C-alpha cells in the first residue's frame, strides 16, 4: 500500500479576511449541493486510486470547515472511509476559526472523527485582530484552545502571523508567550505575505497600509525560532514548530514529497508525478462533477528534472534531505555537481549532516531561499 494524504477544501466562510487568497465564498447557498458533488468526486477517484493506497492523513481546509455542522464533515469522512483504505491511526485535521465554534460544537467534531484541530488565531492582540479583520477576539481564541483540550483533543495547532504593520518585536513575542502557556502541541508562524488580488494588496497599493521591511521581518523570524526552541518546540519546517511526537503527518506528506489527493473546489492533487487542480468556482465545480464526475481544471506531468528540484526544495525546507531516499529516487550527479557548494555551506554552519540527512541549521533556515536558489 502506498501512503497517500487527502485534502478536502470546504469553501464556505462567513467573512473574507483582508490577507486571504484561498478560495472562499460568503454564502450558505449550495452547501447541500456541494456535499453531493464532493461525495461523487470521492467515488470517481476511488475507482482509479483506492486499491493500492492507504490514506494516512485527512485534512479539512478552507474556507472555514468549522462553520459546517459536525454531521456534514462526518458524512464526508464516511464517504472517504467507504471508498478508500484509511489507516486506523490516520491523522484527521480540521481548520478552525475561533469565531465560529463553541465547546459543544468542538466536542461534536471530535465525535465525528476529527482527531487534530488547527486553530487560526493569528494574534491575541485586539488591534492586530481588527487590522486582519478577524471575527474573534483574544479571549475567544484562548477559550477555543482550552475548550479543545477540555473535550479531549491532544493534538492542537495554532496559526500566528508576524510582521504586521507597526508590530514591534516585544509585541510579537507577547503573542508567542501567550501561545506557549496554552495546551498546544504545534505552532505555525507565518510572516504576513502580500498576495495578489487580496484586499490587503489593494490597501498597500493605495498607500493605506505600509508593510515592514525585510530586515524587520528577518529579526522577528529569528526571535521566533530562538523563543520557541527555548520553550520546548523544535523547528521541523521553515514556518512550523512542534513538541516532540506531534509533527503534522499531513504537512510532512507534502514536505517529504509523498502523493496526495484533493477533493473540493480549488483543491490540488499530486500522484505518480502528475499534478492537477480543480476549478475554484463552486458553481463550475458542481457543474463539472455532475457532467464528468471530476472537476479538473488543468494538469501537468512533471519532468524528471522538475520532480528532482521540487524534492530537494521541499526536503531542505523541512526535516532534511534523506540521502538514502534521495539515492533511491535519483542518482548522485546533483550531489557531485554541488559538492563544493555543499562543503562551503557546511563550513559556514548553514547545513549539517545528521543521521544521513542533509539539514539546514538554524541560521540556514534564515537564508533558506538563497541557498535553494544557488542549489537549483
Q: What is the pLDDT of residues 330-357, one digit of tens each?
A: 988 899 999 999 999 999 999 999 999 9
Strand residues in the chain grouped as ranges (E):
2-10, 53-62, 85-96, 116-122, 156-162, 186-191, 234-237, 240-242, 259-264, 268-271, 274-278, 296-301, 321-322, 351-354, 357-360
Per the model's pLDDT, the better-predicted residue between 247 and 27 turns out to be 247
Strands 259-264 vs 2-10: parallel, antiparallel or unpaired: parallel
Q: Which residues pair with 96 in a beta bridge?
A: 119
On average, the pLDDT of the chain sits at 94
Question: What pLDDT is stored for residue 348 in this prediction?
Answer: 95
Give the percent of the chain with pLDDT over 70.
100
Q: Which residues pair with 269 in a beta bridge?
A: 276
Instruction: Average the pLDDT over each of 87-91, 195-199, 219-223 and give the range with the smallest value.
Output: 195-199
- The model's pTM is 0.94
End-to-end CA distance of the chain: 32
Q: Report the largest interatomic distance among the alpha carbons of the chain, rounded to a whole angstrom.
A: 59
Q: Decide: 293 and 285 in contact? Cβ < 8 Å.
A: no
Q: What is the pLDDT confidence band of residue 205, given thresholds at 50, 70 and 90?
A: confident
Question: What pLDDT is stored for residue 332 in this prediction?
Answer: 86
Q: How far is CA 226 from the centre of its chain?
A: 22
Phi and psi angles of residue 367, each rounded to the nearest 5 degrees, phi first? -120, 30
DSSP summary character for residue 100: G
What does the pLDDT look like over 282-296, one tens digit per residue?
999 999 999 999 999
| The three three-digit cell numbers of residue 193, written as one number | 505575505
Spatial separation of the C-alpha atoms in residues 366 and 372, rounded to whole Å: 12
- Please check the confidence at residue 194 and state whether its pLDDT lies above 80: no
Q: Among 12-21, 35-44, 212-221, 366-375, name the most confident range.
A: 35-44
Spatial separation of the C-alpha atoms in residues 356 and 327, rounded to whole Å: 12
Q: Is the peptide bond before 265 cis (omega within 30 degrees of 0)?
A: no
Spatial separation of the C-alpha atoms in residues 245 and 264, rounded to whole Å: 30
Task: Tell me what the mean pLDDT of segment 93-119 comes to.
Answer: 97
3-state secondary structure of 60: strand
Taking Cα atoms as reference points, which of 309, 359, 358 lies closest to residue 334?
A: 309
Give the orientation angle of helix 304-317 with respect to helix 368-375, to 10 degrees: 150
Distances (CA, A) of 260 to 3, 250, 297: 9, 9, 17
Spatial separation of the C-alpha atoms in residues 279 and 241, rounded to whole Å: 32
| The three three-digit cell numbers of residue 6, written as one number | 487527502
Question: What pLDDT is stored for residue 326 in this prediction?
Answer: 94
Q: What is the pLDDT confidence band of residue 122, given thresholds at 50, 70 and 90?
A: very high
Question: What pLDDT is stored for residue 6 in this prediction?
Answer: 98
Taking Cα atoms as reference points, which of 30, 8, 12 lies closest to residue 286?
A: 30
Taking Cα atoms as reference points, which of 131, 111, 115 lies closest to residue 123?
A: 131
- Please check the confidence at residue 112 and state whether its pLDDT lies above 80: yes
Q: Is the dihedral of CA 110, 112, 115, 117 positive or negative?
A: negative
Q: What is the pLDDT confidence band of residue 203, given thresholds at 50, 70 and 90?
A: confident
Q: How far is CA 286 from the centre of its chain?
A: 25
Task: Tell me what the mean pLDDT of segment 114-134 comes to.
Answer: 95
Amino acid at each position: 500500500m502506498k501512503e497517500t494524504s487527502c485534502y478536502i477544501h470546504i469553501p464556505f466562510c462567513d467573512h473574507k479576511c483582508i490577507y486571504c487568497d484561498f478560495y472562499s465564498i460568503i454564502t450558505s447557498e449550495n452547501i447541500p449541493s456541494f456535499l453531493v458533488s464532493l461525495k461523487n468526486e470521492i467515488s470517481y477517484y476511488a475507482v482509479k486510486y483506492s486499491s493500492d493506497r492507504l490514506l494516512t492523513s485527512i485534512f479539512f481546509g478552507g474556507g472555514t470547515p468549522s462553520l459546517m455542522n459536525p454531521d456534514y464533515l462526518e458524512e464526508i469522512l464516511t464517504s472517504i472511509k467507504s471508498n478508500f483504505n484509511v489507516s486506523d491511526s490516520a491523522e484527521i485535521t480540521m481548520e478552525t476559526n475561533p469565531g465560529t465554534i463553541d465547546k459543544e460544537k468542538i466536542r461534536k467534531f471530535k465525535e465525528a472523527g476529527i482527531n487534530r484541530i488547527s486553530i487560526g488565531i493569528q494574534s491575541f492582540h485586539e488591534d492586530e485582530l481588527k487590522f486582519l479583520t478577524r471575527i474573534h477576539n483574544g479571549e475567544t481564541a484562548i477559550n477555543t484552545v482550552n475548550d479543545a483540550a477540555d473535550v479531549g483533543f491532544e493534538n492542537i495547532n495554532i496559526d500566528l502571523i508576524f510582521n504586521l504593520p507597526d508590530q514591534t518585536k516585544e509585541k510579537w513575542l507577547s503573542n508567542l508567550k501567550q501561545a506557549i502557556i496554552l495546551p498546544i502541541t504545534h505552532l505555525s508562524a507565518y510572516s504576513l505575505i502580500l498576495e495578489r488580488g487580496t484586499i490587503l494588496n489593494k490597501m498597500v497599493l493605495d498607500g493605506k497600509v505600509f508593510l515592514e521591511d525585510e530586515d524587520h521581518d528577518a529579526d522577528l523570524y529569528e526571535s521566533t525560532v530562538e523563543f520557541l526552541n527555548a520553550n520546548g518546540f523544535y523547528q521541523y519546517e521553515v514556518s512550523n514548530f512542534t513538541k516532540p511526537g506531534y509533527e503534522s503527518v499531513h504537512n510532512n506528506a507534502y514536505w517529504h514529497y509523498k502523493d496526495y489527493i484533493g477533493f473540493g473546489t480549488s483543491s490540488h492533487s499530486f500522484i505518480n508525478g502528475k499534478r492537477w487542480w480543480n476549478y475554484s468556482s463552486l458553481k463550475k465545480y458542481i457543474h463539472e462533477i455532475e457532467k464528468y464526475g471530476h472537476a479538473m481544471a488543468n494538469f501537468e506531468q512533471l519532468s524528471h528534472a522538475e520532480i528532482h528540484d521540487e524534492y530537494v526544495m521541499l526536503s531542505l525546507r523541512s526535516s532534511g534531505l534523506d540521502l538514502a531516499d534521495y539515492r533511491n529516487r535519483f542518482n548522485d550527479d546533483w550531489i557531485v555537481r554541488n559538492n563544493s557548494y555543499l562543503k562551503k555551506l557546511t563550513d559556514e554552519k548553514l547545513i549539517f549532516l545528521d543521521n544521513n540527512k542533509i539539514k539546514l541549521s538554524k541560521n540556514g533556515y534564515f537564508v533558506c531561499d538563497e541557498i535553494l536558489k544557488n542549489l537549483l
